[in-house]
Amino acid sequence: MMLPPTPRVLALREIVAEVRALAPGGRVIVAVDGGGGTADFADDLAVVFRESGVDTHRASVSDFHRPRADRTFFGPETPERYYRDAFDYSTLQRVLLDPFRMGGSTGFQTAAFDEVRDAPLTSRWETSGPDAVLVIDGEFLLRPELRREWNASILLVNAPERAVYEEEARPRAFATILVDASDPLVPVRVPRNEPA
């Protein structure tokens, strides 16, 4: 089904075309990073990938939080502690990223933890064919230990990031594509030589 050619859809089609040029086949993982608004953007990006005929899956790093007790074991959660300890990257790697990349009939899990209930989720395994796209969104996806996991990454530059993340990870320098989505109906590509 073709989506109506709104400015948002047209902008997302350009991004999909660029990602497909970078990674034309096989299993492709696209990260949508930013301090806010990543879920809606990633949802719509996934719809546009599907429109192009690609088997597409969605995940969010927010579904890989650590339990609250672990995050606050040494005291209240500060912005730096949140950056360092909020998410369970080893589970993300083990149940989603590694199995998704394997292809074939290997199952993967797009969520592992319910932050609202502060409890693990029941495992729900998915599979896909050899050519598929995973669109994952959330905070801190361009941190040094994750940035090599993505075939392409999109940074929403309009959302303010936590200072510790900006200083340590420099996400703007490592993102494949920069987008200003302050007007969600008309996202605009940001050239690398222009300030956000």
Given a cut of 70, is residue 195 above it in pLDDT? no
Name the CATH superfamily for 7-189: P-loop containing nucleotide triphosphate hydrolases (3.40.50.300)
* pLDDT, position 75: 82
Given a contact cutoff of 8 angstroms between Cβ atoms, the answer to whether 40 and 158 are in contact is: no
Q: How far apart are CA 125 and CA 72, in angstroms?
A: 30
20, burial (CB in 10 Å: exposed 0-12, middle 13-18, buried 19+): middle
Q: How far apart are CA 131 and CA 173, in angstroms?
A: 29
β partners of residue 57? 134
**Helical (H) or strand (E) element with 49:** helix 38-51
* pLDDT, position 173: 94
Given a cut of 60, is residue 166 above it in pLDDT? yes
DSSP 130-180: SSEEEEEEETTTTSTTTGGG-SEEEEETTSPPPHHHHHHH-HHHH-SEEEE
pTM for this prediction: 0.93
* pLDDT, position 146: 97
How much of the chain, in percent, has pLDDT values that exceed 90? 76
* pLDDT, position 127: 92
What's the rounded mean pLDDT across residues 92-118?
Answer: 92
* pLDDT, position 62: 95
More confident position, 111 or 104: 111
Given a contact cutoff of 8 angstroms between Cβ atoms, the answer to whether 184 and 40 are in contact is: yes
Given a cut of 70, is residue 194 above it in pLDDT? no
